């Protein structure tokens, strides 16, 4: 174990090795993604999806191994024993730092299907990552604004239809959809500007989550409510890569989504929309109390 190395050197080595890992795995990922694209046979496409997901699991697993080699983190992980890679999940988490994502991958990578995000269609042009996201079937979405719909009413409902079409491939292979409900990282300035009613959280944005349940409710009806606490203070991603994080608490609560929200029409049913927003607010109030309890017991 290389705990003794200076922090900046550890960070630089980890970044270099992650980059090399990416360059090794990317050609294989693209090969099977192209096979899936050109061979219109469901069993072949399902097999290719399993292979590219497996490549991504190994990529993340390698990165997790680097963390073990270079860093000495005390992990306090709760609530992951009953999870399955054969189940469909929606995952949400409080968002404090870009280190949240590798921490979540460290905890959940081998226990549930690969985490996938809904992405803006413009992100497909990000070098290397855009190609990898496409190969891994990350849904690229074009969300229409209220102003655009007002000018062109025929666009109403197109976003949900496009999501259902993009997610049709997930019908045959279990998947995990991930979304930070806060929409951005927590900072004291953002918290004050929002006048958030929660001590440790920003206000949740219910629309994106409702969009997933509305489009994928037939497949996804289980939510993993993840709470991350850094007892020694919130680190930046460079702190995480350099091994300056000593302890991380990850609490996972499994929740069945109420049936009334599965396949719901969030935009057009005002009463259901208000009901869903109350449900999310209650989840967030409970999460805020949980963070306080985890901090107190740390």
- For the segment 192-211, what is each residue's pLDDT rounded down to a tens digit? 999 999 999 999 999 888 88
CA distance readout (Å), 98 to 17, 108, 208, 266, 285? 19, 16, 20, 30, 23
Q: Which helix (H) or strand (E) holds 249?
A: strand 247-256
Residue 144 confidence (pLDDT): 58
Which residues of the chain are under the pLDDT cut of 50? none
- Residue 37's contacts (CB-CB under 8 Å, 6 or more residues apart) are none
> What does the alpha-carbon distance between residue 164 and residue 166 come to, in Å, rounded to a whole number?
5
Residue 209 within a domain: yes
pLDDT digits (tens, 9 = 90+) for 137-175: 887 776 655 666 667 666 566 666 666 666 667 777 788
**pLDDT value at position 166?**
65
Residue pointed to by tokens 């900046």: 8
Q: Quick check: 207 and 266 in contact, CB under 8 A?
A: yes
**Residue 37 domain-assigned?**
no
pTM of the model: 0.88
pLDDT of residue 40: 83
Number of domains in the chain: 1
pLDDT value of residue 207: 85
pLDDT, residue 160, reads 63
Residue 66 lies in a domain: no
User: What is the reported pLDDT for 149?
Assistant: 60
Give the Cβ contact number of residue 147 at 10 Å: 8
3-state SS, residue 64? helix
Domain containing residue 271: CATH number: 3.40.1130
Please report the pLDDT score of residue 255 as a whole number: 96
Residue 95 belongs to what domain range? 74-297
* The pLDDT value given to residue 148: 64
Three-state secondary-structure class, residue 59 = helix
């Amino acid at each position: 174990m290389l705990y003794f190395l200076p922090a900046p050197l550890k960070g630089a080595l980890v970044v270099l090795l992650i980059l090399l890992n990416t360059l090794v795995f990317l050609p294989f990922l693209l090969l099977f993604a192209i096979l899936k694209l050109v061979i219109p046979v469901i069993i072949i496409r399902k097999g290719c999806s399993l292979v590219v997901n497996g490549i991504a699991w190994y990529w993340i697993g390698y990165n997790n191994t680097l963390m073990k080699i270079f860093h000495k983190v005390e992990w306090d992980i709760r609530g992951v024993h009953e999870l399955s890679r054969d189940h469909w999940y929606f995952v949400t988490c409080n968002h404090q730092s870009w280190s949240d994502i590798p921490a979540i991958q460290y905890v959940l990578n081998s226990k549930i299907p690969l985490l996938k995000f809904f992405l803006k269609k413009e992100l497909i042009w990000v070098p290397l990552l855009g190609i990898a996201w496409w190969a891994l079937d990350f849904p690229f979405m074009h969300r229409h604004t209220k102003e655009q719909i007002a000018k062109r009413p025929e666009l109403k409902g197109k976003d949900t239809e496009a999501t259902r079409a993009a997610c049709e491939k997930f019908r045959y292979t279990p998947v995990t959809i991930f979304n930070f409900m806060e929409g951005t990282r927590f900072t004291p300035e953002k918290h004050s500007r929002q006048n958030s009613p929660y001590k440790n959280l920003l206000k949740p944005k219910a629309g994106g989550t409702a969009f997933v349940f509305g489009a994928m409710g037939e497949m996804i009806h289980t939510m993993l409510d993840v709470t991350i606490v850094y007892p020694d203070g919130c680190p930046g991603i460079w702190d995480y890569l350099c091994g300056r994080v000593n302890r991380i608490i990850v609490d996972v609560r499994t929740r069945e989504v109420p049936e009334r929200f599965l396949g719901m029409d969030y935009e057009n049913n005002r009463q259901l929309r208000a009901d869903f927003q109350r449900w999310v607010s209650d989840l967030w109030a409970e999460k805020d109390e949980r963070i306080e309890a985890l901090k107190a017991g740390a």
